[in-house]
Structure 1
Amino acid sequence: MSALEKALQHSRKKQIDECEIVSVKKNITTIRITDSEIAEIKQNFDESFGIRIIHDKKIASIQTTKKEDMEKSIDLAFSTISNLRPREFWQGLPTTVSNRNLEGTYDEKLDKISGSEMMDIAQSIINSANSKKINTITGSLNIVSEFFEIENSNGLSFNDKSTYISGIINAESEHGVLPVSGIGHGSGRTLANFAEKQIGKDAKKMCIESINPKKIDSDTYDIIFEPYSVGELLAFVVSSNFNFKTFSEKKSCFSNDFDEEIAVSDFNLTDDPYIAEGVGTKSVDDEGISTQKNNLIENGIFRNTFSNLFDSYKENEKSTGNGSRIGSPMGRSSEPISISAPHNLKVDSGKSSQEDMIKDTKHGILVGRLWYTYAVNPIKGDFSCTARSGVRIIEDGEIKNPGKSVRIIHNLPTMLKNISDIGNDQQNVIQWASLPSITPSIKTEKIKVISI
C-alpha cells in the first residue's frame, strides 16, 4: 500500500466525507549566469504533499513535506472543520479520470541530464550572446523534472511524469549615450527542441539595436508588440478577464460581453493544453479533471471562460479542467487548494512578417519587452506598462532609431478592437513565475505613449 493510499484509508476510518491528496516530487537544477560567465549551478530536490478534506461541505486544507506525517496532517486539518462554514454549493471531488496520451511532455534526456551537459548549454547561450558591443550577460537556465500524483477517497488515481526547460538571458551594453539591454528567452519540454543559441542571438540583437536611443515624444502611436511583450500582456492584463470567478463576479472588463464581439474578427485566443512544447501542456488538470481545448475569443467573439471545481460549483457549473497548482519556476506544486488558471494561452498566427508590419506603419513604435505591467482599473480594462528594452521608432515604414523608455497607459477592450495586424512569428513565451503563452507579434493602433 502506498503512502497516499494509507493516508486515504486513514481518512475513511475518520469517516471524513472526502479527502484529496496531491504529491509532487520535483528536481530543479538552476544555472545562474552573472558577469558573462557561469556563476553557480544549484540542484534542489523537493517532495511535498497537499491535503484537502471536505466534511459536511466544509473544506479544510494542509500541506506537509513529511510523508510519514500525512495521517497526523489529516487529523489536524479535520480538527479545524467545526470552525468553518459549509460550502453548500460543493458537489464533490471527481471519481474517475480520462487520460489523453500526449507526446513530448516528458523527456528522459532532460530527466537524466548531467551538470556538465547543462553547463555546456548555458555556455552556448553565453557564447551566442557575446559581442564587442555587449558588456555584461546575466540570466539563468532552469531544468525541472517532476513526478505528480493525485488520489482521492472517491477512487480517483492519477500520476504524471513531466520535464521542463527554460532559459533567459539579458545582454547589457554601455557602448552609447546610456546603458541599454536586450532579452533572449526560450522554453519547452524536450531537450532536442530547445534552441539555446537562438536565446543568445535574440538578446544580442535586441541590445545592439537599442544602442544610442532617441527620445520618444509623448503622442499617439501604432505599436507593434513582439511576442515576448505580448506574453507579458496576456499574463498580467488579459488572462484574468477570462477567469470564470472574475467573470461571474462582474470584475472582468468583459463581464457584460459574453458572446459579443470584443476584438477584431481575425483575433483568436485559445487555452490549449495540448500544444507541442507548451510549458502548460497536460492531459489532466491538477484536480484530476481531463483538460480541454478552450476557445476564449473566437473570430473576435468572447466564447468561453476557464475554471476549477470550486469556482464552477459556486455557480452550479462544471469545471473546464483548469484547476491549477502552479509551481516555480515551472510545473506543479502541492498547494492543497487549487486556483483557476489557463494552461497555454495561444494567439493564432497571422500572415504578416514583421518586415511587412513595419512597412505598413507610418508613425509607430516596435516594442520588444515590457516591464511593470499591471491592471490599473481591472473592471474597465485600464492597464499600465513600461517599454524599456528593444524599443524602436518607426517612421514612414522604416525603423529610424532605437527609442528611450516610454510609459503606456491604455485600455484592453480598446486595444483588442484596434488590432490592425497579426504576425507569423509565433513563439513560446514565459515570464518568470508567470503563465505560459504561445503568441506572434501583434500590431495595435492609436495607443497613447508618455515619454519618460
Structure 2
Amino acid sequence: MSALEKALAHSKKIGIDECDIVRVKKKITTIRITDSEITEVKQNFDTSFGIRLIHNKKITSFETTNEEKIEEGINNASKSLSNLKSKEFWQGLPHKAEHTKLEGTFDKKLDHISGSESTDIAQTMIDYANNQKINTITGSLNIVSENFEILNSNGLDFSNNATYISGIINAESEQGKIPVSGIGHASGRTLSNFSAEQIGQDAKIMCIESINPQKIDSDKYSIIFEPYSVGELLAFVVAYNFNFKTFVEKKSCFSKEYNKKISVEEFSLVDDPHIPEGIGTKSIDDEGVKTTKRNLIEKGIFKNTYSNLFDSYKEKKESTGNASRPGSPMGRSTEPIPIAAPHNLKIISGEQSQEEMIKETKRGILVGRLWYTYAVNPIKGDFSCTARSGIKIIKNGKISGPGKSVRIIHSLPTMLKNISAIGNNQKNVIQWASLPSITPSIKAENIVINPI
C-alpha cells in the first residue's frame, strides 16, 4: 500500500467524509548565469504531499515533506474541523479521473538530462548572446521533471509524468549614451523543440538594436506589442478578469459584459489545456476534473470564465477543470487548497507578419518587453506598465531607431476594442512564476505613452 493509499485509509478510519491527497516528486535543474558566465548549477530532488480533509462540509488542509508524518498530520488537522464553519454549498470531490493522453508533455531526454548536458545548453545560450557590444549577460535555465499523483476517497486515482524547460537571457550594453538591454526567452516541454541558440540571438539583437535610444514624446501612438510583452499583459492584466470568482463578485471589468462584444471581432482568446508544448498543458486539473478547451473571448464576444470546484459550487455551478496548484519554477506543487487559473492562455493567430504590421504603421512604437505590469483599478480595467527593453520608434512604416523607456497607463476594455492587427508569429511565453501563454504580436491604436 502506497503512502497515499495509507493516508486515505486512515482518513476513512477516523471518520472523515472526504479526503484528497496529492504527491509531487520533482527533479529541478537550475543553472544561473551572472557576469556572462555560469555561476551556479543546482539539482534538487523534492517529494512533498498536500492533504485536504472535508467533513460535515468543513474544509481543512495541510502540507508536508515527511511521509512518516502524514497520519499524524491528518489527526491534527481533523481536530481543527470543529472550529470551522460548514460550506453548505460543497457538493463533493470528483470520482473518476477522465483523461486522454496528450502529446508533447513528457520527454525522456529531459527526464534523464545530466548536469553537464544542462550546462552545455546554458553555455550555448551565452555563446549566442555574446558580442563585442554586449558588456554583461545574465539569465537562467530551468529544467523540471515531475511525477504528479492524486488520490481521493471517492475512488479517483491519477498519476502523470511531465517535463518542462525554460531559458532566459538578458544581455546588457553600456556602449552608448545610456545602458540598454535585450531579452531572449523560450519555453516548452521537450528538448527537440527548444532552441538555446535562438534565446541568445534574440537577446543580443534586441540589446544591440537598442543602443543610443531616442526620447519619445508624450502622445498617442500605435503600439505593436511583441509576444513576450503580450504575455506579460495576459498574465498580469487580462487573466484576472475571466476568473469566475472575480466575475461573480463583480470585480472584473467585464462583469456586466457576458455574451457581449468586448473586443474587435478579429480577436479570440482561448484557454487551451491540450496544446503540445504548452507549459500548462494537462489532461486533468489539479483536483482530478477533466480539462477542456474554453473560448474566453470568441470573435470579440465574452463567452466563458474559468473556475475550480469550490468557487463553482458556491454559485451552484460545475467546475470548468481549472483547479491549479502552481509549482515553481514550473509544473505542479502540493499546495493543499488549489486556486482557479487558466492552463495556457492562447491568442488565436492572425494573418499578418510583424513586418507587415510595421509597414502599415505611420506613427508608433514596437515594444519587446514590459516591466512592472499591474492593475491600477481592476474593476475598471485600468493598468500600468513600463516598456524598458526592445523599444523601437516607427515612422511612416519604417523603424527609425531605438526609443527610450516609456510608461503606459491604459484601459484593458479600451485596448481590446482598439486592436488593429494580430500577428502570425505565435510563441510560447511564461513570465517568472506566472501564467503560461501562447501569443503572437498584437497591434493596438491610440495608446498614450509618457517618457520616463
TM-score by length of 2: 1.00
Q: How far 1:401 moved relative to its partner?
A: 1.5
Which residue number corresponds to residue 18 of structure 1? 18
Which residue number corresponds to residue 417 of structure 1? 417
Q: How far 1:216 moved relative to its partner?
A: 0.6
What letter matches 2:119 in structure 1?
M
Which residue number corresponds to residue 58 of structure 1? 58
Which residue number corresponds to residue 339 of structure 1? 339
Pairing of 1:266-305 with structure 2 (within 5 A): 266-305=266-305
SS in 1 for 2:99: coil
Deviates more, 1:392-401 or 1:306-315: 392-401
Cα distance between partner residues in 1 of 2:305 and 2:192: 34
Cα distance between partner residues in 2 of 1:224 and 1:77: 52
Which residue number corresponds to residue 231 of structure 1? 231
Pairing of 1:354-433 with structure 2 (within 5 A): 354-433=354-433
Cα distance between partner residues in 2 of 1:345 and 1:7: 35
Cα distance between partner residues in 2 of 1:131 and 1:102: 40
Residue by residue over 1:385-429, the C-alpha shift from the partner in whole angstroms, topping out at 9 and shown as x without a partner, is 000000111111111110000000000000000000001111000
Q: How far 1:289 moved relative to its partner?
A: 0.4
Q: How far 1:43 moved relative to its partner?
A: 0.8
Pairing of 1:247-262 with structure 2 (within 5 A): 247-262=247-262
Cα distance between partner residues in 1 of 2:431 and 2:306: 21
Residue by residue over 1:306-337, the C-alpha shift from the partner in whole angstroms, topping out at 9 and shown as x without a partner, is 00000000000000000000000000000000
Give unpaired runs (5+ residues) of structure 2.
none
Cα distance between partner residues in 2 of 1:104 and 1:230: 24
4+ residue runs over 3 A deviation: none
Q: How far 1:97 moved relative to its partner?
A: 1.1
Count of paired positions:
452
Which residue number corresponds to residue 140 of structure 2? 140
Cα distance between partner residues in 1 of 2:298 and 2:230: 18
Q: How far 1:121 moved relative to its partner?
A: 0.6
Q: How far 1:103 moved relative to its partner?
A: 1.3
What letter matches 2:49 in structure 1?
F
Q: How far 1:47 moved relative to its partner?
A: 0.7
Cα distance between partner residues in 2 of 1:127 and 1:26: 29
Cα distance between partner residues in 2 of 1:402 and 1:109: 40
Q: Does 1:109 align with 2:109?
A: yes
Q: How far 1:45 moved relative to its partner?
A: 1.0
SS in 2 for 1:80: helix
Q: How far 1:99 moved relative to its partner?
A: 1.4
Cα distance between partner residues in 2 of 1:79 and 1:299: 51
Cα distance between partner residues in 2 of 1:431 and 1:308: 23
Cα distance between partner residues in 1 of 2:3 and 2:367: 51
Cα distance between partner residues in 2 of 1:386 and 1:219: 15
Residue by residue over 1:309-367, the C-alpha shift from the partner in whole angstroms, topping out at 9 and shown as x without a partner, is 00000000000000000000000000000000000000011111111111111110100
Which residue number corresponds to residue 96 of structure 1? 96
RMSD: 0.5
What letter matches 2:404 in structure 1?
K
Which residue number corresponds to residue 118 of structure 1? 118
Which residue number corresponds to residue 157 of structure 1? 157
Which residue number corresponds to residue 78 of structure 1? 78
Q: Does 1:307 align with 2:307?
A: yes
SS in 2 for 1:450: strand
Residue by residue over 1:258-314, the C-alpha shift from the partner in whole angstroms, topping out at 9 and shown as x without a partner, is 000000001010000011100000001000001000000000000000000000000
What letter matches 2:111 in structure 1?
D
What letter matches 2:57 in structure 1?
K
TM-score by length of 1: 1.00
Residue by residue over 1:2-54, the C-alpha shift from the partner in whole angstroms, topping out at 9 and shown as x without a partner, is 11101100001111000110101111000111111111101111111001000
What letter matches 2:130 in structure 1?
N
Cα distance between partner residues in 2 of 1:417 and 1:262: 7
Cα distance between partner residues in 2 of 1:347 and 1:421: 12
Cα distance between partner residues in 1 of 2:276 and 2:8: 35
Cα distance between partner residues in 1 of 2:381 and 2:79: 43
Which residue number corresponds to residue 320 of structure 1? 320
Residue by residue over 1:45-90, the C-alpha shift from the partner in whole angstroms, topping out at 9 and shown as x without a partner, is 1111001000010000111110111111111110100111000000
Q: How far 1:113 moved relative to its partner?
A: 0.4
What letter matches 2:246 in structure 1?
T
